[in-house]
Structure 1
Amino acid sequence: MTGLKLSHLVTALIAVLLGYTSSAAIIFQAIDAVGASPAEATSWMLALGLGTGLSCLILSLRYRMPILTAWSTPGAALLAVGLQGMSLPEATGAFLFCAALLTLTGITGWFERVSHLIPEALGSALLAGILFRFGLEIFASMEEDLPMVAVMCVTYLVARRALPRYAIPLVLVAGCAMAWGTGAFELSGTGGIDWTMARPVFTWPEFTLTGLIGVGLPLYIVTMSSQNVPGVVTLRAAGYRVPVSASISVTGLISLLMAPFGGFAFNLAAITAAICAGPEADEDPTGRYKAAALAGVFYSVVGLMGGAIIGLFLVAPQALIATIAGLALLNTIGSSLTAAMDRPDQREAALVTFMATVSGVGFLGIGAPLWALVFGGATLLVLRWRRPAAI
């Protein structure tokens, strides 16, 4: 892989930083729920990092697209509640059941056929709604650390005028320098970190009806509706003809491989993929896959280090992470909103999709992204329906 740029490196780092800091705490809750030992907990983090890294590398290098993958964060939230009172072997059996369903979904190709039915305007509105809260976090972070956020925003504006290609790298440098200078990095708790390499711990699965139906099936549904649907929409909105079936087959097979070690489910990423698929990664769309491939390398390295590097990720001030993520996604949010509102005949349906996504509505175990498409699609069908002409 030749022709690497600074923007590829920085974008990949931002994506991995956001991926870990936004979900590490939830994963730890899921690990506690199943009563895993420290060695087993480290194995979980190893499996999640390596699984994500390998699938990123395989897909981005094979298809030359910024196909970023992730573990299922909504799935981790479900596990934090659903695994209470369940043994680790039972949980492993549920993970394998979910992985088998994901693999079958990719092999049969039914999900790819369904995904082509999503109108472009609704897909763009869904993406804008998913990313919208990251833009809002820039301003919410001002209450936490106004000087640092102000320095980062001013740096962004100046760099966009003078050095647009390096705007996000310069913002990251300015934010880190400001956080370091003001002592915002919480380094006091890192003295006890174990820097040894993580080791996998194999768990023999135990298949029970409670585990398969109560955890495995909901994990599959949440992963497909809240992760894979937005992941497909994100790449299509960026102009890529994503190989949906192949991507889900790869993440499903990786899930099967990593499940006995704690890798509960892998899927297409949406938010971190939007970072690597945007112009901040590379002005040339054909070169953005390199940022995704580098993210795969970084995920693998972090996984091999177990909880050590993850602990370092967690000491970064939240205002720094929220601001850099929001600024990196501004361009994508704007272009998605423009595409969503571009067609007058789909504008109201797109607006319904956008608002439903932003609301975070979820019931029947299904998250906002899928319900937003249902509501938006129903709106579009009703507004387009015409009575048959009288004979």
Structure 2
Amino acid sequence: MLRDFSVQSLFMGLLIAFVGFASSFAVILHGLAGVGATETQAASGLMALSISMGICAIAISVVTRLPVSIAWSTPGAALLATAGTIEGGFNAAVGAFLVCGLLIVIAGLWKPLGKLVSSIPPALANAMLAGVLISLCFAPVKAIAFNPLFGLPIVLAWAIVGSINKLYAVPAALLAFALVIAFGIEMPAGAFAELSSALVPKAEFVSPVFNTAAMVSIALPLFIVTMASQNIPGIAVLKVNDYHPNPGPLFAATGLFSMLSAPFGGHAVNLAAITAAMCAGADSHPDRSRRYWSAINAGIAYIVFGLLAGAVTTFVSLAPPVLIEAVAGLALIGAFASSAMAAFTAANTREAAAITFLVTASGVSFGGVSGAFWGLLAGGLMLALSRSTRKKA
């Protein structure tokens, strides 16, 4: 293995970890807070996720010698942000995280469940995701309305850098956010001392609570979104780059690490999609057989970032919440555009996808169950009805 190590894979691994962490940690914090996590619990969850996906990436890449990039479920965190606090609070959400991880393990080891997830019409899965993301994508506009001096620099940094290189758009917005906090917001007394103490990693155990509302509102939609928008596309990216792993064990491994991070506030670990292309591509290394070191190096960097999660969360908490929501919204615009386009491309599923999108985007919950579940159910029923009608005709 050491003979396969290269400086090129080292730099690519560091870039993967930086892009993966910086571009979406704001979404993770916002999502965990959305289901009732305190600032300390959100920091613990961010740390648990980053360390878990780092160890998972290292373990899988060492065993398989394949460039398997691991990430947290960014669409899943966006789902949490719109789910709201449920009965049982964050403890119930953690119970749902555990069940979601278990479902991912089962999907990897038991083929019928994996096939069932794969059979969900992509148009409906994408419509549900677009419905979840749209409210978050409004945040940059709200940030400008809140305070143009704070919101505009973040949006302009994202737009200008993104027009040059989309890969660095969100990190640029994050840098602008940091500068706004440092120079535009008056620091409270003792802020620097608080930041210094936050450098010491602190994991907070959360006792899981299991109830029906959490299972239906969080566990099931989180499982579907993670499988449909992360794990399955992650395998597709590997295949495009001429790597052909057995998907089942990879899914099961990510589900296992999801379960390990859940008691400390982490929602889901999965195969990466965007950074997978960086990891498996020629820029990682000209020799295909040596690219797995990029995933290993990224995993090591993720662990380091995870140990700094407390300081990151403390720094972010100094700003008005709408600003971190703006960064999260900017990070999700690309995902929203892709999912919306995929949802409404096919004419024969367009109406069902529209219903799924509208019910989900409404944010209305029935019986304590979030709109994401009802949107998928309503769209599925509409699709089944239209197909039945066409058959009779």
Equivalence map 1:170-181=2 (5 Å): 170-181=172-183
Give the secondary structure class of the aligned counterpart of 1:68.
Answer: strand
8 Å CA contact 1:145, 1:319 repeated in 2: no
Deviations 1:174-197 (A, max 9, x none): 343334221266674352453574
Identity %: 24
Equivalence map 1:41-190=2 (5 Å): 47=48, 49-55=50-56, 58=59, 64=67, 66-69=69-72, 74=80, 77-78=85-86, 80-81=88-89, 103-104=105-106, 106-164=108-166, 166-183=168-185, 188-190=190-192
Query: Where does residue 32 of structure 2 map in the other structure?
Result: 23
Alignment partner of 1:233 out of 205, 220, 228 = 228
Query: Where does residue 347 of structure 2 map in the other structure?
Result: 344
Give the secondary structure class of the aligned counterpart of 1:118.
Answer: coil
Residue identity matched to 1:123: A
CA shift at 1:321, angstroms?
2.3
Residue identity matched to 1:150: L
CA shift at 1:119, angstroms?
1.5
Give the secondary structure class of the aligned counterpart of 1:149.
Answer: helix
CA shift at 1:250, angstroms?
2.2
Residue identity matched to 1:224: A
Residue identity matched to 2:220: S
Give the secondary structure class of the aligned counterpart of 2:18.
Answer: helix
8 Å CA contact 1:235, 1:241 repeated in 2: no
- Residues 266 and 245 from structure 1, CA distance in 2 versus in 1: closer, same or farther, beyond 3 angstroms? farther
Q: Is 1:13 aligned to residue 16 of structure 2?
A: no
Distance in 2 of aligned mates of 1:47 and 1:160: 30
CA shift at 1:139, angstroms?
0.9
Query: Where does residue 6 of structure 2 map in the other structure?
Result: none
8 Å CA contact 1:55, 1:296 repeated in 2: yes
CA shift at 1:349, angstroms?
0.7
- Residues 47 and 325 from structure 1, CA distance in 2 versus in 1: closer, same or farther, beyond 3 angstroms? closer
CA shift at 1:282, angstroms?
9.3
- Residues 42 and 292 from structure 1, CA distance in 2 versus in 1: closer, same or farther, beyond 3 angstroms? same
- Residues 143 and 57 from structure 1, CA distance in 2 versus in 1: closer, same or farther, beyond 3 angstroms? farther
- Residues 371 and 82 from structure 1, CA distance in 2 versus in 1: closer, same or farther, beyond 3 angstroms? same
- Residues 166 and 30 from structure 1, CA distance in 2 versus in 1: closer, same or farther, beyond 3 angstroms? closer
Give the secondary structure class of the aligned counterpart of 1:386.
Answer: helix
Query: Where does residue 38 of structure 1 map in the other structure?
Result: none
8 Å CA contact 2:54, 2:299 repeated in 1: yes
Residue identity matched to 2:377: V
Query: Where does residue 264 of structure 2 map in the other structure?
Result: 263
Give the secondary structure class of the aligned counterpart of 2:364.
Answer: coil
Q: Is 1:254 aligned to residue 264 of structure 2?
A: no
Distance in 2 of aligned mates of 1:153 and 1:128: 21
Residue identity matched to 2:146: E
Greater share of residues in helix: 2
CA shift at 1:229, angstroms?
0.8
Distance in 2 of aligned mates of 1:314 and 1:379: 43
- Residues 340 and 150 from structure 1, CA distance in 2 versus in 1: closer, same or farther, beyond 3 angstroms? same
Query: Where does residue 374 of structure 1 map in the other structure?
Result: 377
Residue identity matched to 1:384: R
Residue identity matched to 2:184: T
- Residues 174 and 379 from structure 1, CA distance in 2 versus in 1: closer, same or farther, beyond 3 angstroms? same
| Aligned-pair Cα RMSD in Å | 4.8
Distance in 2 of aligned mates of 1:366 and 1:291: 41
Comparing 139-148 with 163-172, greater Cα deviation is found at 163-172
Distance in 2 of aligned mates of 1:337 and 1:245: 28
8 Å CA contact 2:204, 2:264 repeated in 1: no
Deviations 1:259-308 (A, max 9, x none): 7xx436642469xx67x4699x8996997999997875565335445744
- Residues 60 and 190 from structure 1, CA distance in 2 versus in 1: closer, same or farther, beyond 3 angstroms? farther
User: How does the TM-score come out when normalised to structure 1?
Assistant: 0.69
Distance in 2 of aligned mates of 1:172 and 1:306: 15
- Residues 70 and 137 from structure 1, CA distance in 2 versus in 1: closer, same or farther, beyond 3 angstroms? same
Distance in 1 of aligned mates of 2:232 and 2:99: 31
- Residues 357 and 284 from structure 1, CA distance in 2 versus in 1: closer, same or farther, beyond 3 angstroms? farther
Residue identity matched to 2:89: V
Name structure 2 gaps, 5 residues minimum. 1-8, 238-245, 285-290
Residue identity matched to 1:28: T
- Residues 182 and 247 from structure 1, CA distance in 2 versus in 1: closer, same or farther, beyond 3 angstroms? same
CA shift at 1:125, angstroms?
1.5
Distance in 1 of aligned mates of 2:47 and 2:170: 29
8 Å CA contact 1:222, 1:366 repeated in 2: yes
Query: Where does residue 88 of structure 1 map in the other structure?
Result: none
User: How does the TM-score come out when normalised to structure 2?
Assistant: 0.69
8 Å CA contact 1:195, 1:308 repeated in 2: yes
- Residues 374 and 216 from structure 1, CA distance in 2 versus in 1: closer, same or farther, beyond 3 angstroms? closer
CA shift at 1:237, angstroms?
8.5
Give the secondary structure class of the aligned counterpart of 2:149.
Answer: helix
